[in-house]
Structure 1
Amino acid sequence: MSARTAPHEDQHPASPQATAVRYLMEHGYERTTTSSLADAIGMSRSTFFRRFGSKEDVVFADHDFALSQLQEQLDASTLSAAETLARGTLEVSRVLTRDPVTARMRSQLLRSTPLLRERELVITHRYERMFQRYLARVAAPGTPDWGSIGLAAAVVAVHNAALRRWMKFDDSHAFGELERELTELIGRFGPWFGGERAESRVVVASFSADAAPDEVLRAIAAQLG
């Protein structure tokens, strides 16, 4: 799926993770044991632990995969910082929404389960730290420390806002808009991260004290033009 293409809810056999998330939604996270969850997805308890680790881990398996993919992309990228951040963030969106039904069920499960919301905050910080380390590595000399911190946090916040739009309103344009939003956001932090500083000009105007205001404005406009 390209970055500009909205996710489609294609019909495919449910994955073990999708089945697990649905089971947790229907039976309640706190009331579900690991054994009952393993039975529900047709695994032995030992196989479930080897593949997912815990019932909490199965909820966030897509995030773990997205984080792993993102780290590889940031480590290997030879593109500009702006292109790298945009492509990495859009790939995270693709991973998290590749199964739209499960993505929305997971969102509902998180909203109703405080323990999972706390884990979600931890994962959000992992994305921020990953972006921050990359940005600190590629920042131009003289970039303040808060530059990489601020841009990393902003990228994650803008991504999460687009994801919420898609979740809440089924907005098919959310991720196309995200690409534009990220480009604009990252540009605000140039030239620290590969952007170009706009040329600045100083115009000194000297005019007679009795000159008409319109005449002064025309003279300044002529110099700026």
Structure 2
Amino acid sequence: MSDVATSAPAARTAVVAAALELFATQGFDQTSVEQIAQAAGVSRSTFFRQFGGKDDVVFTDHEQLLEELRDFLARPHANPWAAVCEASVRVFTHFAADPELARRRYGVVREVPALREREIITVFRYERLFDEYLREALPGIDPLDAVGYAALVTAVHNHVLRQLLRGPKRVPVAALRRALDDAMRRFGVLDDAEPADDDVVVAVFPKRMPRAEIARRLGEQLD
């Protein structure tokens, strides 16, 4: 066993894969940490140091993704609404890169009530992250617009991701982008065309567009 080797992302993925394989074949409750460590070729102490427990090894990707999205959203973004969608795409791209592993994880979570409950909490963490980001990026935004948009993007993402997880067919990231564009259009925040550069600007906005977004767009043009 090599504790040093397990520090690499590929090695962590190997541990996750070994754990999910055991969970799928012999059951979550029937699988011990010792069995996972042995199957993955790491020590028991290394497993606990890197993952914490059996539940954590199932959701370790989400913990890493949430941290990456916090860093991504902390950067400047010209369109905060689009930034939330791009964050969603990053999550989908991660799981679509290894669909078989993602499907195995999905199957395990569906069979274990405690894991399903944690999955619900994890989904809410993404939604809350998007909500908090919009409130910070768009001062004065109506809280209902922020939470509503965060919930919409999260729901659209989960719907497309489930299409990938529930069947053998490949679901391209373009499918999610199209769905998110439609969600932005329905919310009234999709930039369908570049505004004209002129001395006089006549602005027409959908009634459903949040006031904070109207103010942001007008501010951009006036600047």
TM bucket (normalised to shorter chain) is 0.7 to 0.9
Q: What displacement does 1:77 show?
A: 3.5
Distance in structure 2 (CA, Å) of the matches to 1:199 and 1:121: 33
In 2 relative to 1, CA 138–97 (structure 1 residues): closer, same or farther, beyond 3 Å?
Answer: same
Q: Is the 8 A contact 2:95 2:102 kept in 1?
A: yes
Q: What residue is the counterpart of 1:94 in the other structure?
A: 93
In 2 relative to 1, CA 23–173 (structure 1 residues): closer, same or farther, beyond 3 Å?
Answer: closer
Secondary structure at the aligned position of 2:127 is classed as helix
What do residues 188-216 of structure 1 show as CA deviations (whole Å, max 9, x unaligned)? 3346x98985378xxxxxxxxxxxxxxxx
Q: Is the 8 A contact 2:15 2:36 kept in 1?
A: no
Q: What residue is the counterpart of 2:179 in the other structure?
A: 181
Structure 1 gaps, min length 5: 1-11, 201-225
Q: What residue is the counterpart of 2:84 in the other structure?
A: 85
Q: What residue is the counterpart of 1:75 in the other structure?
A: 74
Using structure 1 for the length normalisation, give the TM-score: 0.75
Distance in structure 2 (CA, Å) of the matches to 1:154 and 1:122: 17
Q: Is the 8 A contact 1:77 1:84 kept in 2?
A: no
Distance in structure 2 (CA, Å) of the matches to 1:43 and 1:35: 9
Structure with higher Rg: it is 1
Equivalent residues, number: 187
Distance in structure 1 (CA, Å) of the matches to 2:33 and 2:165: 28
- The structure carrying a bigger helix percent of its residues is 2
Cα RMSD after superposing both structures: 2.4
Deviating above 6 A after TM superposition, structure 1's stretches of 4 or more consecutive aligned residues are 193-196
What do residues 122-167 of structure 1 show as CA deviations (whole Å, max 9, x unaligned)? 10010011000011112263x3211111110111110000001112
Distance in structure 2 (CA, Å) of the matches to 1:40 and 1:197: 61
What do residues 104-137 of structure 1 show as CA deviations (whole Å, max 9, x unaligned)? 1001101111111011011001001100001111
Distance in structure 2 (CA, Å) of the matches to 1:126 and 1:199: 30
What do residues 77-96 of structure 1 show as CA deviations (whole Å, max 9, x unaligned)? 32312331221111111122
Q: What residue is the counterpart of 2:64 in the other structure?
A: 65
In 2 relative to 1, CA 194–135 (structure 1 residues): closer, same or farther, beyond 3 Å?
Answer: farther
Q: What residue is the counterpart of 1:118 in the other structure?
A: 117
Aligned AA (1:165): Q
Please state if 1:162 is matched with 2:169: no
Taking every aligned residue pair, what percent have the same amino acid on both sides? 33
Secondary structure at the aligned position of 2:74 is classed as helix
Deviates more, 1:151-160 or 1:172-181: 172-181
In 2 relative to 1, CA 150–45 (structure 1 residues): closer, same or farther, beyond 3 Å?
Answer: same
Q: What displacement does 1:67 show?
A: 0.9
Structure 2 gaps, min length 5: 1-9, 193-202, 208-223
Which of the numbers 198, 205, 208 marks the counterpart of 2:205? 198
Q: What displacement does 1:171 show?
A: 3.9
Using structure 2 for the length normalisation, give the TM-score: 0.76
Distance in structure 1 (CA, Å) of the matches to 2:139 and 2:146: 11
Structure showing greater relative contact order (alpha-carbon pairs closer than 8 Å, 6 or more residues apart): 1
Q: What residue is the counterpart of 1:129 in the other structure?
A: 128
Distance in structure 2 (CA, Å) of the matches to 1:168 and 1:37: 25
Q: What displacement does 1:97 show?
A: 2.6
